Amino acid sequence: MKILVLNSGSSSLKYQVIDMENEKVLAKGYFERIGQSNSFLTHKVNGEKHKFEHQAKNHEKAIEFVLKRLTNDHYGVIKSLDELSGIGHRIVHGGEKFKDSIIITDEVIQGIKDCIDLAPLHNPAAILGIEACKKIVPNMKMVAVFDTAFHQTISKNKYIYPVPYKYYEKYGIRKYGAHGTSHKYVANRIAEILEKDIKDLKIVNCHLGQGASVCAIKNGECVETSMGLTPLRRNSNGK
In angstroms and rounded to an integer, the radius of gyration of the C-alpha atoms of the chain is 19
Among residues 19, 147, 197, 200, which one is catalytic?
147
Active-site residue, 147 included: yes
β partners of residue 49 = 44
1-146 maps to CATH 3.30.420.40: yes
pLDDT score at 238: 40
Task: Calculate ∠ Cα 196-19-213, nearest 5°.
Answer: 50
SS (H, E, C) the chain: CEEEEEEECCCCEEEEEEECCCCEEEEEEEEECCCCCCCEEEEEECCEEEEEECCCCCHHHHHHHHHHHHCCCCCCCCCCHHHEEEEEEEECCCCCCCCCCEECCHHHHHHHHHCHHHCCCCHHHHHHHHHHHHHHCCCCCEEEEECCHHHHHCCHHHHCCCCCCHHHHHHCCCCCCCCHHHHHHHHHHHHHHHCCCHHHCEEEEEECCCCCEEEEEECCEEEEECCCCCCCCCCCCCC
pLDDT score at 100: 95
pTM of the entire predicted model: 0.89
pLDDT score at 103: 98
pLDDT beneath 50, residues of the chain: 234-239
Tell me, rounded to whole angstroms, the distance of Cα 185 from its chain centroid: 13
pLDDT score at 10: 86
User: What is the domain partition of the chain in residue ranges?
Assistant: 1-146, 151-225
